[in-house]
Homo-oligomer: A and B are copies of this chain.
Amino acid sequence: MLPIVVVSLSVGAALAALFWARRFFTEMMVADEGNELMREIAASVRKGANAYLRQQFKWVAIVFAVVSLLLAYMSIYLGLATAFLPLAFLSGGFFSGLAGWLGMKTATGASARTAAAAQHSLNAGLLIAFRSGAVMGLTVVGLGLLFVTGWFAILYWLVPLFGGAESAMSLPQISIAMLSFGMGASAQALFARVGGGIYTKAADVGADLVGKVEHSLKEDSPYNPATIADNVGDNVGDVAGMGADLYESYCGAILAAAALGVAAFGSGALVPEGWTQVSAQLAAMMLPLAIAAAGILLSIVGIYAVRTREDLSQKSLLAALARGINLSTGLVVIAAVVLAFLMMPRVEGTVLFGVLPGVALSIIMGLVAGWSIGKWTEYATSDEYRPTRHIADQARTGAATIIISGIASGMISTWVPVVIICTAMLAAFGFANGGQFHDLQYFSLGLYGVGIAAVGMLSTLGITLATDAYGPIADNAGGNAEMACLDPIVRQRTDALDSLGNTTAATGKGFAIGSAALTALALLAAYFEGVRDGFDRWGNSFAATAAGDGFHAVTNDFVIHREGTRVEKYLALRGGYGSAGPIETTGIEFLDPERQRGRLANYGGELVAIPSATIRDFATYYDATLMNPRVLVGCFLGAMSTFIFCAMTMKSVGRAAQGMVIEVRRQFLEKPGILTGEDKPDYERPIELSTRAAQIEMILPSALGLLLPIVVGMLLGVGGVVGLLAGSLTSGFCLAVFMSNSGGAWDNAKKYIEAGNLGGKGSESHKAAVVGDTVGDPFKDTSGPSLNILIKLMSIVSVVIAGLVVRHSLVALGWF
């Protein structure tokens, strides 16, 4: 019953999101697109964006073809994962790509219309831009939830329906299979975020260096051949990239929470009276879906709350926007309480006030954490607060001091997000397991709390992403107004819209990083579920070839027991008891009637049944402590990977920008008339250049993120992978916050000076601030956001290949 209700609710919410997305899209499309020049410019940007997407999808198609063949080999031929994996991978990528394509279509359609509406009033422009942003937000959550729910329905209902009862999968099998399905979204996000990040900054820096610096053209001047590419870049990087990033977080968080929910009741010890183990697992698995569904519906409510009277000032519009988000958030808090109350089993010791499962507060922790990180990001980067003002002040002594102080400010700004994430993690863990930190049985329930906190944080994505996507639309509207030589008042209005967008963008970036960290945490926690599944499959395939009934040693530390078709698998924990030589399978004595724990004869060690093995059992099995050189090496490599990933993306931007500089210079040289308006610049060539550069330059960093978990897994085993994920997560989170905040603060410090402070435009201070801003560009728009993808991608790749590592790594082979 419960799954039918929740799945219906989820599908309903997802369809509602898509319905409203379509509605907002249609509303936008019927609006006036302005005069012919405006339409022409918008068409150029649209064409460029489409060209980029087509090119990107071509690459993505190749990569997806190759990867899905590899996955098919791994899952179908080697039997190391579910046979649905390749199909799920393709469908996940398709949905994510579709969301990006629709978002981009909307954004490129909205820019000229926003500019046209801004001819009438500020509000009209804001409403078009914001509603168009909402299309992106709602499409992402709608398609995301549809994807997750659809696959659940297939595995839960359709597989036994068509395959017969014997093909039915257990809930752990379903949840672990689905966990690996997040990989399609990750691969798509990689292309969108890293490629988009390189594209946008190559175009931006190229346009600025030649156009603005060498020829003193204005921002968005139609005489600049790279202007259209620059405008395309905003859409490519900030709309499609951000959308794919958060789509990945959204699906990943829901899938990880579902897997952790099933694992929380894996041993059956916590199942309260009146529940079966399966019903408890199902409830815990459905809760994230229900929260996501509620979040979608309440986001739509929030979006409508942004509707305002026509005569509002910009400041109160910002307040209206905040009201929308706050309303959604507040309603989701209530929904979380109600849903947890209705759905969750009352596990002894975790019930608050005698009625409320503690997990409700875990959800709220996630919401609070997301909101707080956003606010802090605003504080750290907005020119209304001390840190950015201080950076701007350092411009007076030149470029060097503004750079140093920007880097120092960015680095120091990491402390609050780290403390927030740590507090949220501990609190979510503690609320979910009733503060029973010392009782191992409750450990998995605590991890479920962490997973569901990530879902809570992302539940309002429908509206928060709307405010993000709004920014580049407003930015492009400004570009359109400038190029179409509209009345200066229009440009002023679009600038005002853009400045509002900067605030929401900062919040959005913080939110993206925070949710990536919490999602990666949930994936890290869920990693051992993949390991558990790997053992399960290994045991089955061994049993299929094993001689007969009874105990069999698969390796020296892995034992199965076969009885007809029933195969039980046991980890043999042999440490401390004696030698690690060949195992004796005679004389095994079980400690409990369910045969969950046993002892080998002659003090040879302990047996633990795979389904009820705790994470500590796995950690003991793999000796996954930080004292183990394998784990520590993994941790080192994880930290290192974040640094070289940043370096690679920065260097990519540098190279791509250099190509752009040469191209723009060439055009000015060959047709000097461009600068006077006599000749028309060739807008297409820079777009092609940026597109090609983005695709080529992202190969190396992508390969790093994809291959490192595989290499580390095969060489150093499960322990090494855990170290790698922890190292990349902790170090990558700090690095991402540092780079985004430094970049954001430099950007705003420059704007602060341009607003007339500290000497204003053209002063020495301004020149220094421009240097800071240029350094900050790849920091905040390429390297920083790309780290979000890296930490999630490494986690999901690790989960997907867990079966391979469990069975075929050097450690598993006993070589190392």
Contacts and interface: CB of A to CB of B under 8 A. Distances in A.
Given A440-B575, A731-B730, A625 B617 contact: no
A737 B626 CA distance: 22
Interface of A: 209, 213, 394, 397-401, 403-405, 407-412, 414-415, 418, 421-422, 425-426, 429, 437-440, 443, 446-447, 450, 521, 524-525, 528, 556, 575-577, 579-580, 591-592, 597, 603, 608, 614-617, 619-620, 623-627, 629-633, 635-640, 642-644, 646-648, 650-651, 653-654, 661, 722-723, 725-727, 730-731, 733-734, 738, 770-771, 774-775, 778, 811, 814, 816
B397 A209 contact: yes
A403 B404 contact: no
- Interface pairs A-B: 9 shortest CB-CB: A400-B774, A619-B625, A411-B647, A412-B647, A639-B730, A418-B640, A408-B650, A408-B647, A422-B633
B643 A816 contact: no
Given A409-B647, A412-B644, A418-B637, 10 more contacts: A404-B774, A411-B650, A524-B626, A575-B614, A575-B616, A626-B626, A626-B722, A626-B723, A643-B738, A727-B731
A179 to B, nearest CB: 15
B627 A447 contact: yes
Contact of A627 (B525, B575, B774): B525
A33 B727 CA distance: 53
Contacts of A591: 577, 603
Contacts of A603: 591-592, 597
Contacts of A576: 440, 597, 608, 614, 616-617
A415 B640 contact: yes
Contact of A429 (B625, B629, B727): B629
Contacts of A733: 636, 639
Contacts of A414: 640, 643-644
A639 to B, nearest CB: 4
B411 A635 contact: no
A714 to B, nearest CB: 15
A751 to B, nearest CB: 17
Contacts of A643: 411-412, 414-415, 734, 738
A579 B644 CA distance: 46
B635 A726 contact: yes
A623 to B, nearest CB: 6
A421 B738 contact: no
Nearest to A620: B620
Contacts of A636: 418, 421-422, 730, 733
A733 B731 CA distance: 11
A639 B814 contact: no
10 contacts: A404-B653, A408-B650, A408-B654, A412-B647, A418-B636, A422-B633, A447-B627, A616-B620, A619-B620, A619-B623
Contact of A446 (B592, B629, B723, B814): B629
A740 to B, nearest CB: 13
A633 B517 CA distance: 12
A651 B614 contact: no
B422 A637 contact: yes
A521 B625 contact: no
B408 A438 contact: no
Contact of A438 (B407, B438, B580): B580
Contacts of A579: 439
A771 B411 contact: no
Residue with the greatest number of chain B CB neighbours at <10 A, chosen from A398, A400, A401, A425: A400
Contacts of A438: 556, 580, 814
Contact of A639 (B654, B734, B816): B734
Contact of A734 (B422, B443, B731): B731
Contacts of A771: 398-400, 403, 771
Contacts of A722: 625-627
A528 B627 contact: yes
Contacts of A653: 404
A576 B627 CA distance: 22
Contacts of A447: 627
A411 B646 CA distance: 7
Contacts of A639: 418, 639, 730-731, 733-734
Given A415-B644, A730-B639, A734-B731, A625 B624 contact: yes
Contacts of A626: 524, 624, 626, 631, 722-723, 725-726
Contacts of A443: 623
B404 A778 contact: yes
B425 A524 contact: no
A243 to B, nearest CB: 27
A43 B775 CA distance: 44
Contacts of A213: 398
Contacts of A638: 730
Residue with the greatest number of chain B CB neighbours at <10 A, chosen from A408, A579, A730: A730
A404 B650 contact: yes
A603 B439 CA distance: 16
A631 B723 CA distance: 12
A400 B775 contact: yes
A397 B633 CA distance: 39
A521 B626 CA distance: 11
A242 to B, nearest CB: 23
B209 A644 contact: no
A648 B580 contact: no
A425 B646 contact: no
A576 to B, nearest CB: 6
A374 to B, nearest CB: 19
Contacts of A426: 629-630, 633
Contact of A425 (B608, B629, B640): B629
A625 B615 contact: yes
A26 to B, nearest CB: 43
Contacts of A770: 400
Contacts of A646: 408, 411
A388 B407 CA distance: 21
Residue with the greatest number of chain B CB neighbours at <10 A, chosen from A407, A418, A635, A643: A643
A417 to B, nearest CB: 9
Residue with the greatest number of chain B CB neighbours at <10 A, chosen from A407, A638, A654, A722: A407
Contact of A726 (B521, B592, B630, B632): B632
A775 B627 contact: no
A651 to B, nearest CB: 5
A411 B619 CA distance: 32
Contact of A625 (B412, B439, B625): B625
Contact of A629 (B450, B575, B592): B450
Nearest to A657: B401
